[in-house]
Chains A and B, each alone.
Chain A
Amino acid sequence: MKVFNLVVVGYGGQGVLSLAEIIERAAFKQGFDTKGAELHGLTQRGGSLQCHARFGEKVFSPIVRKAGADLIIALEPLEGLRACYYANKEKTILLTDERVLNPSPVDEEKISLEELISEMKKFVKKVETVEASKIVERLTGDIAMSNVFMLGYSIAKNLLPIKKEIAWEAVAEKIRPQFLEANKKVFEEAFRA
Chain B
Amino acid sequence: MAKEILNEEGKILLLGNEAIARGALEAGVAIATTYPGTPASEIGDTFAEIAKDVGIYFEYSTNEKVAVEAAAGAALSGLRSIVSFKHFGLNVASDSVFPLAYLGVKAGMVIAVADDPNCWSSAQSEQDSRYYARIAHLPMLEPSDAQEAKDLTKKAFELSEKFGIPVFIRTTTRVAYMRSLVKLGKIERIERKVKFEKNIKYRNFPPKILEVHEELHKKLEELKKEGEKMCSVFNRNSKSKIGIIVSGVSLNYVLEALEELNLKIPVLKISMTYPLPEKSIAKFISKLKEVLVVEELEPILEEEVKKIAKDSNPKLKIHGKDLLPIVGEYKPEIMLQAIAKISKKKIPKELIEEKFDAKKIEKRLMQLCAGCPHRASFWSIKKALGSDKIVAGDIGCYMIGVHPPNNILDFVSCMGASIGISHGISKTGEKPIAFIGDSTFFHAGIPALINAVHNKGNLLVVILDNRTTAMTGHQPHPGVNLTGMGEETKAIAIEDIVKACGVENVKVVNAYNIEEFIKTAKEFYSLPGVSVIVAKGECRLQAVRKLARSGAKIPKFEFVEQPDEEKAKELEAFGCPAIRKRNGVFYIDKNLCWGCGTCTQIFKGIKPKVEK
Give residues in A with beta carbon < 8 Å to B: 11-13, 21, 24-25, 28, 33-48, 59-68, 78-79, 81-82, 84-85, 87-90, 102-111, 122-123, 133, 137, 142-144, 173, 176, 178
| Closest chain A CB from B314 CB (angstroms) | 33
Q: How far is the CB of B559 from chain A (nearest CB, A)?
A: 13
Shortest distance between the CB of B338 and any CB in chain A (Å): 13
- Cross-chain contact of A68 among B253, B332, B362 (Cβ < 8 A): B332
Is B552's CB within 8 Å of the partner chain A? no
Interface residues of B (CB under 8 A from A): 3, 13, 15, 38-39, 41-42, 120-121, 123, 145, 173-174, 177-181, 249, 252-253, 255-256, 259, 331-333, 336, 348, 350-351, 355-356, 358, 361-369, 397, 399-400, 471-473, 549, 551, 571-572, 575-583, 586, 589-591
Which residue on chain B has the smallest CB distance to residue A47? B366
Residues of B within 8 A of A63 (CB): 174, 253, 331-332
- A13 nearest CB across to chain B (Å): 7
CB contacts (< 8 Å) of B15 on chain A: these are: 38
Contact indicator B181/A103 (Cβ below 8 Å):
no
Report the Cα distance A79→B364, complex, angstroms: 9
Bound: A178/B552 CA distance, A: 13
Contact between B581 and A105 (Cβ–Cβ < 8 Å)? Answer: yes
List the A side residues contacting B259 at CB < 8 Å: 60
Contact B332 A41 (CB under 8 A): no
Q: How far is the CB of A69 from chain B (nearest CB, A)?
A: 11
Q: A13 to B350, alpha carbons, bound, how many Å?
A: 32
Q: A35-B180, A62-B252, A85-B356 are contacts. A173–B3 as well, Cβ < 8 Å?
A: yes
A11 to B259, CA, bound (A): 33
Which of B15, B179, B549 has the most chain A CB atoms inside 10 A of its CB?
B179
Which chain B residues border A111 with CB–CB below 8 Å? Answer: 362
Find the B residue at minimum CB distance from A40. B38
Q: In the bound complex, do residue A122 and residue B366 qualify as a contact, i.e. CB atoms below 8 Å apart? A: no
Residues of chain B with a CB closer than 8 A to A106's CB: 571-572, 579-581, 586
**Closest chain A residue, CB of each to CB of B15:** A38
- Residue in chain A with minimal CB distance to B11: A28
Known contacts A36-B180, A40-B39, A67-B350: A82-B358 contact under CB 8 Å: yes
In contact, A84 and B572 (Cβ under 8 angstroms): no
| Contact indicator B400/A45 (Cβ below 8 Å) | yes
Which residues of B lie under 8 Å from residue A123 when comparing CB positions?
A: 355-356
Question: Is A34 within 8 A of B181, CB to CB?
Answer: yes
Q: Which of A25, A39, A102 contacts B13 (CB 8 A)?
A: A25
Residue in B123, B177, B333, B364 whose beta carbon sits within 8 Å of that of A40 in the complex? B177
CA distance A176 to B352 in the complex (A): 45
CB within 8 Å for A85 and B358 given contacts A65-B332, A79-B364, A103-B363 = yes
8 Å CB contact of B364 from A47, A60, A89 = A47
Asked whether A46 and B369 contact (CB < 8 A) given A35-B180, A36-B178, the answer is yes
**B473 and A41 within 8 A (CB):** yes
CB contact under 8 A between A41 and B121, given known A63-B332, A109-B583: yes
C-alpha gap A144/B348 in the complex (Å): 40
Give CA–CA (A143, B578) in the complex, Å: 14
> Contact: B364 with A11, CB < 8 Å?
yes
In the assembled complex, which residues on chain A have CB atoms less than 8 Å from the CB atom of B473? 40-41
Residues of B close to A47: CB separation below 8 A: 364-367
B582 CB contacts on chain A under 8 angstroms: 108-109
Taking A28-B181, A78-B364, A82-B361 as given, write out 10 further A-B residue pairs in contact, using a Cβ cutoff of 8 Å, ordered by the A residue number.
A13-B369, A24-B179, A36-B178, A40-B177, A41-B473, A45-B369, A61-B252, A61-B332, A62-B180, A143-B591
**Cβ of B120 and Cβ of A108 under 8 Å apart?**
no
Minimum CB–CB distance for B568 against chain A, Å: 8
Q: List 18 A–B pairs whose Cβ atoms lie within 8 Å, in order of A's numbering.
A: A21-B179, A36-B180, A40-B38, A40-B39, A41-B38, A42-B397, A42-B471, A44-B366, A46-B369, A61-B256, A62-B174, A63-B331, A66-B351, A67-B348, A88-B350, A106-B581, A142-B590, A143-B591
Expressed in whole angstroms, the Cα–Cα distance for A35 and B15 within the complex equals: 10
A43-B256 in contact (CB<8A): no
- B13 proximity list for chain A (CB < 8 A): 24-25, 28, 34, 36
